[in-house]
Amino acid sequence: MADFISPFDFRMIFVNYFLGSSELFVAAFLIVFSFFAAKFKMSNRVYLILLIVGSIIFVAIIGQVIFVLILVLISFIAFKSFGRIST
């Protein structure tokens, strides 16, 4: 049976229905963000500032600090790798 979804409940729509859990959403978002930042040749300083602000927001959403710290390291490594691949 279908559940009613409020049209402006973006957390429910994006997090729960697209990937199933908040942890998967955070991981997918950071990897995709790293790819596009490297593709458009974003500078390291701007990327790290946006990554830190995003990680603070994600810690507030899912509440697991160590998980987000590991994902930040993985996404920075991915950013560097994607940057070398795309050149």
Q: What is the pLDDT of residues 25-75, one digit of tens each?
A: 888 888 999 999 999 999 999 999 999 998 898 888 888 888 888 989 999
Domain map of the chain by residue range?
10-86
DSSP secondary structure of 8-25: T-HIIIIIIIIISSHHHH
pLDDT, tens digit (0-9, with 9 covering 90-100), for 72-87: 999 999 999 998 887 6
pLDDT, tens digit (0-9, with 9 covering 90-100), for 5-15: 777 777 777 77
pLDDT of residue 19: 77
Residue 57 is encoded by which pair of tokens?
């927001």
Provide the H-helix boundaries in the chain: 10, 22-39, 44-62, 65-86
pLDDT of residue 32: 92
